[in-house]
Structure 1
């Protein structure tokens, strides 16, 4: 089973360009992460972004966090994370993965 992470982010006023540079760097950095299956950024309105991430397992998700620590550490100063959802299958322990993120909601596959 894969682990999916969905993150909604809104850049602070005047910080959209800076946010986009960090987002681009995060996407580029995943090219060398063997456990990252997909890492994409979407937008449904100007100034609103959604990251959809897919990892082979919890360890790959944690490795991404470690590899991207410097870039991810810049986000709180330029953007608000408004929602985080973590999805996984049986045995993925999505509650444990979600507990790493503030206000994250775990979603366990039921069938």
Structure 2
């Protein structure tokens, strides 16, 4: 199984180019992360972005957070998370991730 994140982010006013520069580096950096299965960025309008992330498990997502700490900090300086969703099952460690991100909406796998 695996754990998925859907993270919606709005670039700060006048910061779209900076946001995209940092986001591009963030996406590229995930290619070398062993616990990251997929890390993609989408947009439905200028300044509105959605990251779709898939990790092997909670440990994989934690490893990404550690490896990308500096870039995630830079991203936070030029954009704001507007929605954070976690999808996964108990065996994937979804409860562990949810405890670390209390504002996230958790979608627990049914079967």
Shared topology, TM-score over 0.5?
yes
User: Whole-Å Cα distance in 2 between the matches of residues 99 and 78 of structure 1?
Assistant: 25
What is the CA distance between 1:95 and its match in structure 2?
Answer: 2.8
Q: CA RMSD in A?
A: 1.2
What SS does the corresponding residue of 1:41 show, helix, strand or coil? strand
**Structure 1, unaligned runs of 5 or more:** none
**Equivalence for 2:45:** 45
Q: Write the deviation string for residues 10-50 of structure 1: whole angstroms up to 9, x where unpaired.
A: 00000010000110001000010111110000011111000
Higher helix proportion: 2
User: What TM-score does the superposition give when structure 1 sets the normalisation length?
Assistant: 0.94
Number of positions where the alignment pairs a residue of Structure 1 with one of Structure 2: 111
**Equivalence for 2:23:** 23
User: What TM-score does the superposition give when structure 2 sets the normalisation length?
Assistant: 0.94
